[in-house]
Amino acid sequence: MTAAAWEPVYVRAAVPGDVDQLLELRVQVMAGEPVTQAWRDTLGQDLRERLGVDPDLLVFVAPGDGGQLLACAIGMAYHGYRSPRFETGRWGRVLIVVTRPAARRRGYAKAVMRALLDAFDAAGCSASIELRATDMAEPLYTGLGFTQVPSGSYMTLRPTPDRPPNQGGSP
């Protein structure tokens, strides 16, 4: 389906049969990170095992007429602690939103994001939904109500040669 201003975009939940195309879309936004066969195998197996089974893995796709996935949005719902601000203790993170280059600026990303936001709401985590935005995607997210947080508030810790990953025990 070609999305025109007057034509709605069809969005559905992803199924295990979509995994190869989801991997292909995911590679498009890896920004130069190495893509190994081990990475593809691991992520592919994880998606095949969890799609439609794990209620916290939320994946939506916009297929075109020939079945090719034109866009996808992947998110995770998490369990945190309850507080007056987070009554359910549930929060969400948008992990990836990607549209094939030839299908951009036609409403596909917005459609899969809206489906993902609805799923976050249904999962009880609408009080806090986080994402990391590229400059190109920022207008999409602000148009959906996301706001920037103060810079420097997002940090990450990854294994390095001097700090290998924790093997599940204490030192």
The tokens for 67 are 């079945």
With CA atoms as reference, report the closest residue to 137 among 97, 80, 78.
97
171 has a pLDDT exceeding 60: no
Taking alpha carbons only, the member of 132, 2, 14 closest to residue 72 is 14
Confidence of residue 169 (pLDDT cuts 50, 70, 90): low
Query: Is residue 127 packed enough to be buried (19+ CB in 10 Å), middle (13-18) or exposed (0-12)?
Result: middle
DSSP string, 105-118: TSSHHHHHHHHHHH
Class at the top of the CATH hierarchy for domain 12-143: alpha beta
79 DSSP β-pair partners: 90
Q: Which residues of 17-32 are buried (b: 16+ CB within 10 A; e: fewer)?
A: ebbebbbebbeeeeee
Domain map (residue ranges) of the chain:
12-143
User: What number is the average pLDDT over the span 90-109?
Assistant: 94
Q: Is 39 exposed, middle or buried (0-12, 13-18, 19+ CB in 10 A)?
A: middle
53-74: pLDDT as tens digits: 999 999 999 999 899 999 999 9
Q: What percent of the chain has pLDDT over 70?
A: 90
pLDDT tens-digit series, residues 9-54: 999 999 999 999 999 999 887 777 778 899 899 999 999 999 999 9
Res. 114 pLDDT band, cuts 50 70 90: very high
